[in-house]
Chain A
Amino acid sequence: MPVVSRLAGIVAAVAAIAATGVAKAEPVKLTWLMWSGSEAEVEAWKHVAGLVTEEHPDITVEFQTTSFPDYWTKLPVLAASNQLPDIVSLQAQRAPGFVDLMTPLDDLIEADGFDIDAFDPSIVEGLSRDGERFAIPYDFGPLILYYNRDLFAQAGVPEPKPGWTEAAFNEAARALTTGDRFGFAVSIPDAFMTYALSTGAHYLDEDGELDLTSQGMVDAFKRYAELVSTEKVAPLMPSSGTQSSSMAAARFTSGNVAMHVNGPWQMINIKGKSGFTVGVAPVPAGAAGSISVSAGSGFGISASSPNQEAAWKAIKVMTGPKAEQYLAEQGRAFPARTAQQSFWYDKAAEGVVGAREGIPAAIATARPYATTPAWASVSALFEQYAPVAFAGSESPEEVLETIQALSDQ
C-alpha cells in the first residue's frame, strides 16, 4: 500500500466529509465482514447494520460472516485478492498483523471532533499502532476469574473478591479439588499471560518483540504448569481442535472445575449454561498486583475501500451509544463505551455476584493486550506445546524455549 495513495485517500475523505451537507449523497452499499456464532448473533449484527441505514438512509451495510476461528483464515485471503470489505472487524490481539490493510483514523477523528474519550482508553490503545488508531472499539474486557459459588459454599472456602492473592487462590484451588472435581482450569495463552503479568514478568521486551525466556516468564510458567502437573488442582487438557479457553468454559459450566479465567464476552454463554450461581472477581494478585490484559474488538475501514467516507459514517453509528446499548442489553458485548456499560451489568450480568465490583476493579489495573504481528501463530504454538509442560513430559523452561524458537523462525 503506497503511502501516497493512502494519504490521497484520507485527504479525499476528509474533504468529502467537509463538503457534506452541500452535496446530496449518492446511495452507497457497504460490505462488512464480521465473525458470529449463532443465528441470534447474526440477527444482532444485522440489527446494528440496520441502525446505520436508519441514521443514514443512503447507506446500506451488507453483513458477511464466518465463525470466529475461520475469520482469521478468510481475512488475509480476501486481502490477497483485493476483495476486502469496506468495514473490517478486528480483535485487538490479532490486529497487529492486519494494520497495514487499514485506513488510519486519526485525521477523521480529528476532523469530525469524534469523541474518542467516551471509550475505554485501554482498548482504544489496543486498536492503535504507534499511537495511530485504525479501528473504533465496540467491546472490550479484562480477563476475569469466574467461579462457582455453590462449590465454594460447599467446601467452606471464602469467595474471591478484589485484592485476592495468589496464595489464597492456591489454597482455594486445593480445597476445591476432590475426586471428580478440580479447583481450576488452565487456559493458554491469554489467561496465562495475565498470570505472568501479575507475577511481574513480561512476555514482550522493550522493543515489543516476543521474549518468553526471561527468568520471570520461566518462573511464572513453571508455577502455572505445576497447577496441573504436580499440584493436580487443574485437569490436563491436551491440545485439540477446541481452544483451551472454550474447553475451560465448558468444564466450568458443567460444574467440574470451580474456577477459570475468561473474558466478559463469555458471560452470556457461561451464565446461560451454568446450573449454579456464578461469581466473578479480578484475577488473583501476584507480586506485581492483580494485572489483567484487556482485550476487545472494533471496526475499521479497509484502506482499499472506495467508500471511505460512508464507511466512516457507518462505523460511527455501529460504535455509537445506540448500538452499544443494544449490544450490551443483548449480552453480545461488554461495551467499549464506558457510559453504556451499566446496561450490560443490568442485563447480561444480572444475578452474577461480584460483577459490578470485580470488573471495574479489573479494568482499573488492566493493561492493553500488547501482541506481536504473528500473534495467531504464537497462540497456536502455546496451545500445541503448553500441554507438554502440563503433562510434565518436558520442563516448562524447555517448552518456552521451543515456542520462542518456532516463533522466531
Chain B
Amino acid sequence: MTSDVIDTRPWPRAMRAGLHGGMVLLVATFLFPFFWMVSNALRTDAEIFAVPPRLLPDSWEWGNFSAAWSYLPFGQFFLNSMLVAAAITAIVLVVSSLAAYAFARLRFPGNGGLFLLYLATLMVPQAVIVIPLFLMMSAIGWVDTYQALIIPMAFSSFGTFLLRQFFLTIPRELEEAALIDGATRLRILLTVFVPLARPALGLLALFTFTGQWNSFLWPLIVINGPEHATIPLGLTLFQGQQGIEWNYMMAGATISMLPGFLLTVLLHRFIFKGIAIGSGLGGR
C-alpha cells in the first residue's frame, strides 16, 4: 500500500523510486489482460489454445476485426447500445439531480425514511425483478422496443445517492444568499448546485453510461432479435450451438470498448477540473 508522499519532507530518493517503479509494474500487470485480448483477437482460432501459449500471434490476422464486424450486424448493435446508454444517462442526470437536492436540502416529513426506501431499491437483485418487469412490459406492449430498454432502467437510485453525498458537502451559505434574494429552489439547483457538482455529475454520467453499456440480463429478456439488440447481447451470439468464435469475440470486445474509452477521455477534464468546493477559487 502506498503512503502519502509529501513534498515538504521528501522520502529518501531510492524509496520513492522503488514506490513508483512498483506502481508502474502494477499498472503494466493491470493492463495485461487487454494486451491478451488484442493479441488473441489477432490470431487464428486454432492458435488460441496453442500449448505452450505464445505471447504474440504467429500470423497477424487483422482481418478478424472486419470479419467480426460482418459476422453479426455489429453496427446495428453499436447504434442501439449508444442510443440506450445515452438516453438512460440523460434521464438519470435530470431525475437524480432533482431528488438529490430534495434529500440534501429540503425539509419534509419522512426525509430519512424515504431515503432509506431509495437505498433499498438498490439492494434488489435484478434476477428476481426481471420477470415481473417483463410481465409489465408485455402488458403495455413494449416488448422488443427501445423504450423497454430505456425507461425501466432509468430510475436507479444510484445517482440520487451519489449526488446527495456531494450536495451535502456544498456550503450552505451559498444558497442562503440566493434564497434571501428570492430565488426559487429550482433556480438554486440549476445555478448553484449543478455548476458546483460538475465532478459528481460527470462521474454519474460516466458510471451510468458504462454500466448500461454492459447491461446484459434485462436486454436478453426483453429483446427478441438483432434489430434492437445491444452489444453484450450481440457478443453472446459468438457462442453458438456450433462452437465459440473466440477470436471474433475478442475482436468484438475490443471494438465495444471504444465508446467508453472516448467518453472517459472527454469527461476526465469535467470530473477532475471541478471547482474546488468552498475554496474561494472559482473554477474556470
Point out residues on A near B: beta carbons under 8 Å: 33, 35-42, 63-70, 73-74, 77, 80-83, 180-181, 242, 246, 249-251, 253-256, 265-266, 268-270, 273-275
User: In the bound complex, what is the Cα–Cα distance between A315 and B59 (angstroms)?
Assistant: 45
User: How many residues on B have C-beta within 8 angstroms of the other chain's C-beta atoms?
Assistant: 37
A39 touches B70 (CB 8 A): yes
* B229–chain A nearest beta-carbon distance, Å: 9
A184 to B44, CA, bound (A): 22
What per-residue 1/0 map shows which CB atoms of B46-78 lie under 8 Å from chain A?
A: 111111100000000000000000111100000
A242:B244 contact, CB within 8 angstroms:
yes
Known: A254-B48, A273-B243. 10 other contacts (CB 8 A): A37-B238, A37-B243, A38-B72, A66-B224, A66-B233, A67-B240, A77-B134, A180-B51, A268-B242, A274-B46
The reply to whether B236 and A67 contact each other, CB–CB distance below 8 Å, is yes
Bound form: Cα–Cα A39–B134 in Å: 27
B residues 111-132 with Cβ under 8 Å of A?
Answer: 130-131
Q: Is the CB of A81 within 8 A of B134?
A: yes
Q: Answer whether residue B226 sits at the interface, using C-beta atoms and an 8 A cutoff.
A: yes
Alpha-carbon gap, A275 to B220, bound state (A): 35
Known pairs A65-B226, A74-B221, A82-B138; A36 contacts B49 (CB<8 A): no
Give the complex CA separation of A238 and B240 in angstroms. Answer: 20
22 cross-chain CB contacts under 8 A = A41-B240, A42-B226, A63-B225, A64-B225, A67-B236, A68-B239, A68-B241, A69-B236, A73-B220, A80-B131, A83-B143, A242-B244, A250-B243, A250-B246, A254-B51, A255-B46, A256-B51, A265-B241, A268-B242, A269-B243, A273-B44, A273-B46
Q: Taking each of B44, B130, B237, which has the highest tally of chain A beta carbons within 10 Å of its own beta carbon?
A: B237
B172 to chain A, nearest CB (A): 49
Contacts of A36 in B (CB 8 A): 237, 240
- A181 to B51 CA separation, bound complex (whole angstroms): 8
CB nearest neighbor in A for B224:
A64
* A205–B45 alpha-carbon span in the complex (Å): 42
Contact A35 B73 (CB under 8 A): no
How many angstroms from the CA of A50 to the CA of B140 in the assembled complex? 31
Bound: A266/B135 CA distance, A: 36
Contact A254 B240 (CB under 8 A): no
Verify if B175 is at the interface (C-beta below 8 Å from A): no
Closest chain A residue, CB of each to CB of B235: A67
What are the 10 A-B residue pairs with the smallest beta carbon separation, nearest first? A37-B240, A254-B49, A269-B243, A64-B224, A68-B241, A67-B236, A81-B138, A180-B51, A269-B242, A273-B45
B240 and A38: CB pair below 8 A?
yes
Give the residue among A180, A181, A253 with the most B Cβ atoms within 10 A. Answer: A253
The CA of A274 and the CA of B44, in the complex, are separated in Å by 10
Most central of B48, B73, B239 by chain A CB within 10 Å = B239
Q: Indicate whether A250 sits within 8 Å of B225 (C-beta atoms), given known contacts A39-B71, A39-B72, A181-B51.
A: no
User: Are A41 and B242 also in contact (CB < 8 A) when A69-B236, A74-B221, A77-B131 are?
Assistant: yes
Q: Known: A70-B220, A250-B49, A254-B49. Is A38-B245 also a contact (CB below 8 A)?
A: yes
Contacts of B46 in A (CB 8 A): 253-255, 273-275
Nearest A residue (CB) for B69: A39
Residues from chain A with a CB closer than 8 A to the CB of B143 are 83
Query: In the complex, A255→B47 CA distance in Å?
Result: 9
Contacts of B226 in A (CB 8 A): 42, 65
Most buried by B among A39, A63, A255: A39
Partner of A83, one of B45, B51, B138: B138
Of B44, B49, B144, the contact of A251 (CB 8 Å cutoff): B49
Within 8 A of A (CB), among B151-192: none
Complex Cα spacing A15 to B72, Å: 43
Q: Are A265 and B239 in contact (CB under 8 A)?
A: no
Question: How far is it, in angstroms, between the C-alpha of A37 and the C-alpha of B243 when the chains are bound?
Answer: 8
**A269 — which chain B residues lie within 8 A by C-beta?**
242-243
Inter-chain contacts of B134 with A (CB < 8 A): 77, 80-81
> Is A256 in contact with B236, judged by CB distance below 8 angstroms?
no
A33: B residues at CB distance < 8 A:
224
**Chain B residues with CB under 8 A of A82:** 138
Nearest A residue to B242 via CB reads A269
A39 touching B51 by the CB < 8 A rule?
no
Contacting residue for A81 out of B135, B243, B245, CB 8 A: B135
| Complex CA distance for A249 and B241, rounded to whole angstroms | 12
Q: Give every chain B residue within 8 A of A83 (Cβ-Cβ).
A: 138, 143
Write the nearest CB–CB distance from A95 to chain B, whole angstroms. 15
Residues of B within 8 A of A41 (CB): 240, 242
Docked pose: A255 CA to B225 CA in angstroms: 35
Complex-state Cα separation, A77 to B224, whole angstroms: 12
